Amino acid sequence: MTTDSLKSLIHLTCIDGLGHMRIRSLMRVFKDPAYVFKSSVHELCRIDGINMKIAEKILNYKPNSFVNEQIKKGESLGVTIITFWDDEYPFLLKKIYDPPVILFIKGTFIENDIDSIAIVGTRMPTPYGRNIAQRLAEGLAKSGITIVSGFAKGVDGIAHQSALRVGGRTIAVMGNGLDIIYPDVNKKMVPLFSENGVFISEFPFGTKPEAVNFPQRNRIISGMSHATIVVEAGNRSGALLTAFNAVDQNRDVFAVPGRLTDKNSIGCLRLIRHGAIPVHDVDQILDALKNQLRHPKRPVQKEIKLDLSREERGIYNLLSDEPKHIDDILQQTSMDPSKALTILLSMELKGSISQLSGKHFVRNI
């Protein structure tokens, strides 16, 4: 699409009541959005979904500086503006009921991004949820799957960061303009996106991360993905909306089982009760989607050999998915505290364990 046509298309998105579906109806007839503004009321009213009121809004629309400002802002930030009719537009997203006609993209899509899976969940995960989100994201990323999420605090951020940490691909779907990085806690991740990550938004520059934007954003997360995995979610979690969107889009939904007494498990158990697939491991997810994935996946590493000393191995065997406090480790090993902390730090650097808040430790592998 030429720059002039792109500007005309952005102008169309500014007209109240027009919407993505009506714009696509107009484009099927006029082909070039510039011609829409040159048409007559009679011609417009012949288009499906266009009545006299909307036709008059189109013909009475007065262009302003907004569109030129958007184009200029995109150039200064290195953001590409693509349309539903461009080759770069994500293939899976085109298939949903109401795909956005314009996307703002920072980064570059690659061919293998067609094999995408969404990982979403609560903004306040338990240690169990953090560990599972990390494992799933890393395992899928190592298998050549692009991880899609919403860049929110909690499970979303863990999914992005875990994929990037193992050299995988990730796509962050934002609920605001790409000139704003939200939330602040995830700003440290932005440089990691430079090689293997893409930021995407349907919202123009200057759009603030208001609550009303996120349900709309969620349909893109699921729409870009073959399946959506919900790690942890309360009964009113936004992650459930993403899962419901996935169902509407005829995409698979996986949910991580949790304890019946955990409030963060209520949403996942509800999804499983209504037909979501309980998550077991990465292999199970890949097997379930093998007929949908386009590119040969790299085999998932079945066993990871840990280069641990005898003392490190002793501590490693004490740990599990459940957080263990440093006092319990000291009691079970009878180690000097300074020595134990030195060994634990060494194990963290090797990636075999993680330290959580309050001096709690969990096994990673």
Reduced 3-state DSSP string for 214-257: HHHHHHHHHHCCCEEEECCCCCCCHHHHHHHHHHHCCCEEEECC
* Strand 353-356 relative to strand 252-255, pairing: unpaired
- Which pLDDT does position 365 carry in this prediction? 64
Least trusted range by pLDDT, from 104-113, 208-217, 300-309:
300-309
| Straight-line distance from the first to the last Cα atom of the chain, in angstroms, rounded to the nearest whole number | 48
List the beta bridge partners of residue 147: 117, 170
Residue 301 in this model has a pLDDT that exceeds 60? no
Least trusted range by pLDDT, from 149-158, 167-176, 201-210, 318-327:
318-327
Considering the entire predicted model, what is its pTM? 0.84
The pLDDT confidence band at residue 303, using thresholds 50, 70 and 90, is very low
All domains of the chain, ordered by start, with CATH?
1-64 (1.10.150.20), 111-288 (3.40.50.450), 310-363 (1.10.10.10)
Instruction: Please report, rounded to a whole number, the percentage of residues in the chain having pLDDT higher than 90.
Output: 78
Average pLDDT of span 353-364: 82
Token pair 């997203």: residue: 93
- Which pLDDT does position 296 carry in this prediction? 52
Least trusted range by pLDDT, from 233-237, 252-256, 301-305:
301-305
Average pLDDT of span 1-7: 90
- Which pLDDT does position 259 carry in this prediction? 86
Residue 69 backbone class (left: φ over 0; alpha: ψ -120 to 50; beta: rest): alpha
Average pLDDT of span 350-358: 80
- Give the torsion sign (CA, 165, 349, 125, 213): negative
Which letter, b or e, does each residue of 147-158 get, where b requires 16 or more Cβ atoms within 10 Å of its Cβ?
bbbbbbbbbbbb
- Which pLDDT does position 29 carry in this prediction? 94
Instruction: Give the tokens for residue 92.
Output: 């899976």
What CA–CA distance (Å, rounded) separates 122 from 109? 27
Average pLDDT of span 13-24: 93
Burial class (CB in 10 A: 0-12, 13-18, 19+), 92: buried
Residue 144 in this model has a pLDDT that exceeds 50? yes
Average pLDDT of span 171-180: 98
pLDDT tens-digit readout, 41-62: 999 999 989 999 999 999 999 9
* Strand 116-120 relative to strand 197-201, pairing: unpaired
What CA–CA distance (Å, rounded) separates 144 from 139? 9
